[in-house]
Structure 1
Amino acid sequence: MASISIEVNSLICFNNENYLVKRISDLDSIIGERTSDLKKIRIPINEIKSPIIEGDIDTSPTAAYSEEEWEMARRRFEIIEPFLQLTNRASQINESSEEHGIHPSTIYRWLERYESSGLISSLVPYQKDGGRGKGRISEKLEPLIQDIIENQYLRSQRINISQAYIELQLACRNENLEAPHINTFRKRVKAISLEIRTKNRDGKKNAQEKFEPIRGLYNKATYPLSIVQIDHTLLDIILVDNETRRPIGRPWITVAIDVYSRMITGFYVSYDPPSSMSVGLCLSHSILPKEKYLLNLGIEGEWPCWGIMNTVHADNAKEFKGRVLKRACEEYKINIQWRPIGTPHWGGHIERLIGSLNGVLHTLPGTTFSKKEYRENYNSEDKATLSLIELEKYLSMYIVDIYHKKVHSGLKVSPMFKYTEGLLGSGSFGGYGLPAKVSDEDKLKKDFMPFFERTVQRYGVKIDQIYYYHDILRRWVNSNDPKIPSQKRKFIFCRDPRDISIIYFLDPETRNYYSIPCRDITRPSVNIWEFRDAIKHLKDQGAKSIDEDKIFDAYERLNNLKEESKIKTKHKKRRTKEGRTNVHESIKKIQSENLDTIDELDIKPFDDIDYGSY
């Protein structure tokens, strides 16, 4: 199951027990009724899991599939897509089976797999194993199930699932067939979209009021997460190494904004120029809940943005058109719309936001400002005190405590108010309901993370002069490519640049990722930019050859240099500390500047920013 529906009467799991959602309390909690004894309790949304249902489809990361497998899944999806929003679809499925030369029961199985998971990868052909030990609904039983659902359950009489199941049992007895388990039937019913169930059981008008988007301009957002804009910029600040406090350079930010409410759905900062990695990490940050993220940063505020967006607006840069991003968006049914050429205003919301964020940074030590004349008497490198993680915390605090809560000039209300109203409603407006929650967060992170290929040697795997090893790699050492036996087999790995002490290995048989640590587990946890800084330090010292030991020794020496500098320049470090640790004071300073609205900063269109000026 790709996502967890959080709607009234939807089935969820909390503390390993199934509950029915009875009421949406707010953006943080629901009232659930335990299915075992009907006891009602308040359940935090961030602790909701997928319901426990027999026969759930286990899907693998998208990188596990070959191009041929993925293309097969896409072709199957194209066949079943016309039937996903239909209730009485038996006749259309029969016509499609004749057109494509596929048995109707096969199409029904594809529909069941897709509707149960919501993932295109569920349509990848199974590895053939003879089907031993696996149950399958018979070809005679399939039409009976579909008939009961269409002609009994999806009707204005509104009979419940248990009553519909009794009708199925009677139909099976008349045909001398064994009825499926009630959980199998319940799973089939729950797989039908809530919009279809509402339309057929409550009437077309009710369904339109709840689900029909308001038509407008092609880029007009009509509900939360209907359109998310994403873009990048080079930030106007110089940062320092988190340990050595040496200046490193200016960071890039990739940020996403919900057009409907102007809520920031997520962002990613790094020293690397825009890439498929930065786009993927920004989107996964946007989609996933933020409670753990804020807890790790030590921030007490709330950031209730989570859920899969319907459409992403992006420019035509190559980082938005990579294979990994395309496949991940197909997997989660995210539509990507490219910015029309010659229409710089098309991405205006995200550009104004980026300008606002850069304006905030001009109050921090180490800023490079936005205009050259402002930098003439200001040494940005000498003043720099914030590290990358400290900047990330600063931005998160600003987003949570100020930006989301201040009145937006274009909305006349705060982004948080607009977002909450759009989901939960206000007055006579009922709201669009909470978005579905991703059930497998780790899979989503890996799906949006670019991968690379390496052979497995006796020492393990070598990446950027670092050796990684785990016993799970042992059986793949020096293995040959099954398609080209004369060549060594390459395996899929991925890595988060914020912690390169671990890489992730995709086992080709289990189709699961496994963590592979540094071969020397005593190595400290570092990010890729600190690692590169250590390499640069070695090269500056004239090192003729560079290996893993030398790099980490250099990193340790840089740390020792930091400790020595604390003693020799105590007075300077005191002033640096004051500038570096006063994050809360900077926040208060911004608040005291009486910025009544968010969008009143002097900024220029994103397309006009000259990244090479500095």
Structure 2
Amino acid sequence: MGIFSHGKSEVMQIEIEEGMHVVARGKAALIVRPVDADSVEVLLLSTRQKITVGLNEIEFITVPKRSTGGSEILYLTRLESESNDQEIQLALRRHEVLSRLHRKEISVAQAAEEIGVTRSHVYKLRAKHDESMGYCTQLVRRRGNQKNSRHLDPALEKEIEAVLETFRKRAGVTFAEVWRAVQKACMSLNLKCPARKTIRNRMKSSFTREEVTRLKYGREVAAQMHDSRPGKYKATKPLEWVQTDHTLVDYEVLTDDRSDTIGRPWLTLFIDVYTRVILGYYLSLHPPSTLSVACALAHAVMPKEDFLRRLNLSGFKYPMYGPPFMVYMDNAKEYRSHKYLSSLDRAHIGYDHRPLGKKHFGGHVERLIGTMMNKVHLLSGSTMSNTVVRKRLARDRKPTQTFTEFARWFALEVMEYHSTVHSEIKKTPLQAWQDYYGPHGVVPFPPQITDAHQFRLNFMPQEYRNIRPGGIEFKTRFYWDPVLDPFIGEKKVLIKYDPFSLKQIWVQLDGQFIPIPFADMTLPDITLEEHRAKVLSSQSLEPGSFGDAQAAEAHSEAGRIESASIKKTRAAKKQLAAKVEYQKEFSSAEVVKKENKVAPDYSLPPKPFKGGV
């Protein structure tokens, strides 16, 4: 069972580099090289075996601060890659013995005997020993200068600093100009000019990111990127500038049984301005909120393999992800909530809000929304974008998709958009992305989040629930784990949940978040929006209403039987009444006839019969 922190920890971003220490499939490893957009080749430190693993199979190591600093760690990483098998085997042996000494399983004398050195040398080796860094601390050190060390003449160092200071406040400066100024200063003082690489490294260490941006692109761009002042600038690489916004989708989705509509979904989008890719999005059945914004951002930052698998689209590629440098958004309350903005701060993601009343400042995302809605308008049952067009719709164009079906259809349309040539950048968004991030691009991979789960936890929505003997009830389902036993009866316990997967929740117990799964492990996983669709489907059936077509048919047939019986009854009553009246009339005629009967007079002659033949 995993145990996580309180959910407010700072999440770091990290660039994947060759020689980086990671944990691959649960084993300590070293990154050798990128293979493709989703995988790397690593060297397992325990067996020296090289294997290919996916990015979702590696964990990043957060190395504790040491007195030697970051340069020492980088040096050890490089030293490890340069060491031969004999040196590595020696380091592994020393590390194993020193680890036992650290655990007090053996004495210093025993350690000296096993390693084959003096006791005083064991103390020196133990001073370098670090369990978190592994055996590389025991590798034989190379002689010479270490990386990032400075050995220039103090007068030359002072002159370089003076030259850099003259450029610090200027704009639109190229490195070539700085390099020429340093050469000129060195020649005037009769000093040997250092290498170009040395001057470039001095600039990186002396200037802040804001100053570097101002030197390259000018004060206005630097202000936009670093001072959070709105304005327009040209993005120079992916993830540098991302825009986000919402829209109400021009389509009504059906209930799961297709008997009725449940409304129009909302769409939250994140677009990368440089490549025009849809970095992330979220479809919801509720109006825009902090929840939908956080879900869309998490979708943008994290790899998409799990997302595609849930939609049964594993055969497709969606390689775009990564933490944005700057997120540009409007002034809606969900974009200004303290929880959302503080989560961005902890993830080291910059943000800015567009000026009030100036919608064109978010032009890229607005045009993207228009493009995606044009695709929606081709669907049967689209509500279109305005009432004039809506009136011209054919009456038989009814909605045909449930929310789950629409979510899958929309994902396919997103991938089609990524592979369609964009009119502005003159290439497909996918190609623009891979030109920068990819095995043959500028950088093999986008920046990675060091702790993916902690990042998700920071953005997860939260609620309060009671712990009952049957577990925790949430979204009509129960969650249970034996770890809850001591806490049964606790009230208003904080829980967090992942809207993309409700198969487990995270419950805060004694200051730690513990994952708790479904009580019924046979239940299938479900997303928050799929749950909402089911709830809306059940709400569309009022108490006493028919649940299926058979009930309606039975009701109609019963009605027909009742109508027929009423008609028959009325006919029978009329017939009976007529018979009674007839009988009454017949009986009266007979009585009158009998009363008016006269005896025959036989004295009269007979009357001749005049009937016709």
TM-score normalised to structure 1 length: 0.60
Amino acid paired to 1:490: K
User: Structure 2 matches for 1:190-589, cutoff 5 A?
Assistant: 203=198, 205=200, 215=217, 217=221, 218=224, 219-299=233-313, 300-378=315-393, 383-400=398-415, 402-424=416-438, 431-457=442-468, 460-461=471-472, 471-479=482-490, 489-496=491-498, 504-509=505-510, 511-515=512-516, 517=518, 527-534=530-537, 536-537=539-540, 540-541=542-543, 558=547, 561=548
Q: Are the aligned partners of 2:256 and 2:537 in contact in 1 as well (CA < 8 Å)? A: no
Q: Are the aligned partners of 1:244 and 1:562 in contact in 2 as well (CA < 8 Å)? A: no
CA offset at residue 459 of structure 1? 5.8
Amino acid paired to 2:446: P
Q: Are the aligned partners of 1:238 and 1:381 in contact in 2 as well (CA < 8 Å)? A: no
**SS of 1:285 mapped into structure 2:** helix
Q: Are the aligned partners of 1:236 and 1:369 in contact in 2 as well (CA < 8 Å)? A: yes
In 2 relative to 1, CA 285–351 (structure 1 residues): closer, same or farther, beyond 3 Å? same
Q: Are the aligned partners of 1:4 and 1:49 in contact in 2 as well (CA < 8 Å)? A: no
CA distance, structure 1, for counterparts of residue 261 and residue 17 of structure 2: 49
CA offset at residue 314 of structure 1? 1.3
CA distance, structure 2, for counterparts of residue 251 and residue 496 of structure 1: 19
Deviation track 1:175-223 (CA, whole Å, cap 9, x = no partner) reads 989414244457999xxxxxxx986697453797999765363354222
In 2 relative to 1, CA 223–204 (structure 1 residues): closer, same or farther, beyond 3 Å? farther
Deviation track 1:94-136 (CA, whole Å, cap 9, x = no partner) reads xxxxxxxxxxxxxxxxxx46xxxxxxxxxxxxxxxxxxxxxxx
In 2 relative to 1, CA 36–516 (structure 1 residues): closer, same or farther, beyond 3 Å? closer
Equivalent residue for 1:573? none
In 2 relative to 1, CA 566–239 (structure 1 residues): closer, same or farther, beyond 3 Å? farther
CA offset at residue 37 of structure 1? 4.9
In 2 relative to 1, CA 397–252 (structure 1 residues): closer, same or farther, beyond 3 Å? same
**SS of 1:507 mapped into structure 2:** strand
Equivalent residue for 1:8? 18
Instruction: Count how many residue pairs are aligned between Structure 1 and Structure 2.
Output: 439
Equivalent residue for 1:125? none
CA offset at residue 256 of structure 1? 0.8
CA offset at residue 277 of structure 1? 0.7
CA distance, structure 1, for counterparts of residue 249 and residue 311 of structure 2: 21
Q: Which runs of 5 or more structure 1 residues have no equivalent in the other structure?
A: 58-111, 114-141, 190-196, 480-488, 543-553, 569-614
CA distance, structure 2, for counterparts of residue 458 and residue 174 of structure 1: 57
Equivalent residue for 2:127? 179
Q: Are the aligned partners of 1:494 and 1:503 in contact in 2 as well (CA < 8 Å)? A: no
CA distance, structure 1, for counterparts of residue 58 and residue 525 of structure 2: 34
Q: Are the aligned partners of 1:29 and 1:44 in contact in 2 as well (CA < 8 Å)? A: yes
CA distance, structure 2, for counterparts of residue 380 and residue 286 of structure 1: 38
CA distance, structure 2, for counterparts of residue 260 and residue 43 of structure 1: 29
CA offset at residue 12 of structure 1? 2.8
Q: Are the aligned partners of 1:242 and 1:387 in contact in 2 as well (CA < 8 Å)? A: yes
TM-score normalised to structure 2 length: 0.61
Q: Are the aligned partners of 1:256 and 1:283 in contact in 2 as well (CA < 8 Å)? A: yes
CA offset at residue 379 of structure 1? 6.4
Q: Are the aligned partners of 2:283 and 2:407 in contact in 1 as well (CA < 8 Å)? A: yes
Q: Quote the RMSD (CA, aligned, Å).
A: 4.5
CA distance, structure 1, for counterparts of residue 439 and residue 521 of structure 2: 54
Amino acid paired to 1:491: V
CA distance, structure 1, for counterparts of residue 553 and residue 535 of structure 2: 24
Q: Are the aligned partners of 1:365 and 1:384 in contact in 2 as well (CA < 8 Å)? A: yes
CA offset at residue 303 of structure 1? 0.7
Identity of aligned residues (%): 26
CA distance, structure 2, for counterparts of residue 358 and residue 467 of structure 1: 38
**SS of 1:25 mapped into structure 2:** strand
CA distance, structure 2, for counterparts of residue 304 and residue 563 of structure 1: 47
CA offset at residue 259 of structure 1? 1.4
Q: Are the aligned partners of 1:199 and 1:207 in contact in 2 as well (CA < 8 Å)? A: no
Equivalent residue for 2:566? none
**SS of 2:388 mapped into structure 1:** helix
CA distance, structure 1, for counterparts of residue 374 and residue 260 of structure 2: 24
Q: Are the aligned partners of 2:80 and 2:136 in contact in 1 as well (CA < 8 Å)? A: no
Equivalent residue for 2:54? 44
In 2 relative to 1, CA 562–494 (structure 1 residues): closer, same or farther, beyond 3 Å? farther
Q: Are the aligned partners of 1:229 and 1:349 in contact in 2 as well (CA < 8 Å)? A: yes
CA distance, structure 2, for counterparts of residue 439 and residue 318 of structure 1: 30
Deviation track 1:1-37 (CA, whole Å, cap 9, x = no partner) reads 8566421222233333333323223313333333345
Amino acid paired to 1:315: D
Amino acid paired to 1:275: S
